Amino acid sequence: MLVQLLVLPLLAGAALLVGAPGTAQAASVCSGRPAKTVGFSTGELRVYKSRAHVCAVTVAKKPGKRRVMSVALQPRGGRVVSDKGSFTKMAGPVTVNALNRCVRATGSIAGKSVSTGWILC
């Protein structure tokens, strides 16, 4: 009984220190450094590069309204990885292995789209 009285408050305090799952990614959903940002009329396509991976997201210029959005990323010689759906703020992130390989990223929001062509070669 005494152990329970001591342990439960400690666990509750530890949970407050650790925080809710996913809060550490609030600043950026992709790891790595920003490699390329391409703006278009309804938002922007952001590409990030780490040593062996490339990550991409499509972010709405005016978040809030639910719209069809997509982001796709393809390493040269590899399969396309994509995320498409009805979102309020962002599509993605999508990540591919791209050590020493070029990648191509595309993003779209509400029918408007943009592509990077082959980059990071």
Would 65 be classed as within a structural domain?
yes
Q: Which residues pair with 93 in a beta bridge?
A: none
76: containing domain: 34-116
CATH code of the domain in which 43 resides:
2.60.40
How much is the pTM?
Answer: 0.77
Q: For the chain, what is the domain count?
A: 1
Model pLDDT for residues 1-59, shown as the tens digit of each residue: 444 444 444 444 444 334 334 333 345 799 999 999 999 999 999 999 999 999 999 99
Q: What does the radius of gyration of the chain's CA atoms come to, in whole angstroms? A: 19
Would 28 be classed as within a structural domain?
no
Model pLDDT for residues 73-105, shown as the tens digit of each residue: 999 999 999 999 999 999 999 999 999 999 999
Tokens coding 27: 């600043």
Would 10 be classed as within a structural domain?
no
Task: Report whether the peptide linkage leading into residue 93 is cis, meaning its omega lies within 30 degrees of zero.
Answer: yes
DSSP class of residue 16 equals: H
Would 54 be classed as within a structural domain?
yes
Would 11 be classed as within a structural domain?
no
